[in-house]
Structure 1
Amino acid sequence: MVTAQSRQKSYADLKRKHVEFEVGDHVALPPSLSRVHNVFHVSQLRKYVSDPSHVLSYKTLGLQEDLSFNERPVKILDRKDKVLRNKTISLVKVMWRNNVVEEATWELELDMLQQYSELFQ
């Protein structure tokens, strides 16, 4: 196991760049995230090179005051029954607004029917 970890570390080290940040260095965030906590783990930061022609484009997410986000389902893509030991659970694959098909999730059909009956018309 130690050998595998050592090999993984050597591969990761090849791609790792040493970057140093100082207090006052700027990192670009879209205005919609201005209320998110402004402290990040250093591994998530990238050096920002100032460029006056650089214009950030972003899509408004519709965050509420408490920074929560209400997502709405768009349509049901698929259905399946999951068989457990002593019962069967009906699931539906749901495509959500502002997401692509690859990010669709499997949800309990009963819950979706209760909350979003219009999807089952």
Structure 2
Amino acid sequence: MKAAQSQQKSYADNRHCQLEFEIGENVFLRILPMKGIMRFGKKGKLSPRYIGSFEILDQIGPMAYRLALPLILSGVHNVFHLSMLRKYIIDPIHIIDYEPLQIKENITYTKELVRF
């Protein structure tokens, strides 16, 4: 049993990477998909795994960070564990829209030009 535990620990140690974020850095926030619950306009397998990018406002201890969340997520507590965050590499053309797509009763929607 000791040999198996040692082997598992060495495997976990090799796969583990230390993450640290700076204040002011942008991160993605991991959301957990739940069966039967619609999040951000998608349900099931199509629901997003990560949302963001959010700015880090403060570090709370060695493993928790406070994020600047938009008003639409005001009901969510703004302190998250390190495991719930993923580094965001800034891309100037990356546009994230939190507004769900408005689909009419006849299953159509209107296109809007985002950028010209």
Greater relative contact order (CA < 8 Å, ≥ 6 in sequence): 2
Same-fold status (TM-score > 0.5):
no
TM (norm. structure 1) is: 0.37
Larger Rg: 1
TM (norm. structure 2) is: 0.38
Q: Which has the higher helix share?
A: 1
Q: Which has the higher strand share?
A: 2
